[in-house]
Structure 1
Amino acid sequence: MPRLHRPAGGDHRHGRDPGGVAVTVLLRRAVPADASATAGVWLRSFAAALPTVVRPRSDDEVHAHVRDVVIPLRETWVAEAEDGAIVGMMVLDGRLLSQLYLDPAHRGRGLGDRFVALAKERVPGGLTLWTFQVNKPAHRFYERHGFVAVERTDGHDNEEREPDVRYVWQPR
């Protein structure tokens, strides 16, 4: 059974929809059976949040990468809604918060906040992450959570060849 995340001071299962109605969403470790749904979240989120960024991988390649690399080789967490649907994903690779994607229909419900709290709990010594320079909402989100931009590049080291920003969070 995957380990459940229970953040300090709060119930790991509850959030609110944009209308303020309580909803149940569980954060848990991903299992192999989650691969297709998790890849689907990644694809929908990427398309909605980054419409100008060219993806270097086809849908099939994304599904294979999540199935063969992300879930078995990384610390992968998913957000599971009451109906069993996977509506978010987060991947930790040591101190690197390498992926945090939410289904577009589930943004604005506190899931991103919960994932960041989980990442900080799992890696209390500090985190780093990369996001694209064009993703201004991500910059605001991470800065709100105490991350500081420390490096900007022209994208030469990422698959998308898209200018990016490295953020770092250090505990106080």
Structure 2
Amino acid sequence: MNDGLTFRQLALADMEAASNVFRTAFDAQLPWLAGLHKREEDRVFWSGYLFSNCVIWGAARQDGLLGVIAFRQGWVDQLYILPHMQGRGIGSRLLGLVTASHVRLNLWTFQKNAGARRFYESKGFEAVRETDGADNEEHEPDILYSWRRYA
């Protein structure tokens, strides 16, 4: 596919751009939760916790980063695509990088995030648990998804 996209593992120097993709996509998909954190807090989270604990890949064109995925053994921690680039296969390709090297994966998403839920379900993820949100910092009802590769 010659769409001008490149996919690569991101470095610490990329974390500001990665956190900007996250914030832009998060606020567009979940506007009722916008403003919970400042952009500087996002940068600290991406360059600190996520960079230290996850492998982070990005999808980019010459004009910049368009999507990111952060994952660790058994978990997808983050998957965000800029709103104007959603529906073009970028999320599928990033998730495919992870499913190719894992047998099982889990992830959380918010119950109200219907687009994310449809996306994950279309990729074979199954809902295994719903919560009232008491245990997440947003206090937003969420849902645990699980995926398993079958031989």
| Aligned: 1:26 with 2:18 | no
TM superposition shift of 1:56 = 3.6
| Aligned: 1:155 with 2:137 | no
Higher helix share: 2
- Asked if 1 retains the 8 angstrom alpha-carbon contact of 2:130 and 2:144, the reply is yes
TM superposition shift of 1:84 = 4.8
- Asked if 2 retains the 8 angstrom alpha-carbon contact of 1:77 and 1:90, the reply is yes
Q: Can you list the C-alpha shifts for 1:117-168, whole angstroms capped at 9, x where unaligned?
A: 1110121x11110000000111111110000001000011111110000000
TM superposition shift of 1:108 = 1.2
Aligned to 1:66: 46
Moved more, 65-74 or 31-40: 65-74
**Within 5 A, what are the aligned runs for 1:71-82?**
71-81=51-61
| Aligned: 1:43 with 2:23 | yes
1:43 is matched by which residue type in structure 2? R
**Is there any run of 5+ residues in structure 1 with no aligned partner, and where?**
1-13, 15-21
1:95 is matched by which residue type in structure 2? G
- Asked if 2 retains the 8 angstrom alpha-carbon contact of 1:32 and 1:72, the reply is no
TM superposition shift of 1:57 = 2.2
- Asked if 1 retains the 8 angstrom alpha-carbon contact of 2:27 and 2:34, the reply is no
Aligned to 1:109: 88
| Aligned: 1:165 with 2:139 | no
Aligned to 2:66: 87
TM superposition shift of 1:25 = 1.1
State the TM-score, normalizing by the size of structure 2: 0.93
Counterpart CA distance in 1 for 2:120 and 2:44 is 28
**What secondary structure, in the 3-state scheme, does the structure 1 residue paired with 2:31 have?**
coil
TM superposition shift of 1:106 = 1.2
2:97 is matched by which residue type in structure 1? L
Aligned to 2:121: 143
Gap change, CA 1:27 and 1:95, over 3 Å in 2:
same
**Is there any run of 5+ residues in structure 2 with no aligned partner, and where?**
none
- Asked if 2 retains the 8 angstrom alpha-carbon contact of 1:56 and 1:159, the reply is no
Aligned length: 150
The list of structure 1 runs, each at least 4 consecutive aligned residues, that deviate by more than 3 angstroms after superposition, is none
Counterpart CA distance in 2 for 1:54 and 1:46 is 7
**What secondary structure, in the 3-state scheme, does the structure 2 residue paired with 1:24 have?**
coil
Q: CA RMSD in A?
A: 1.4
Larger Cα-atom Rg:
1
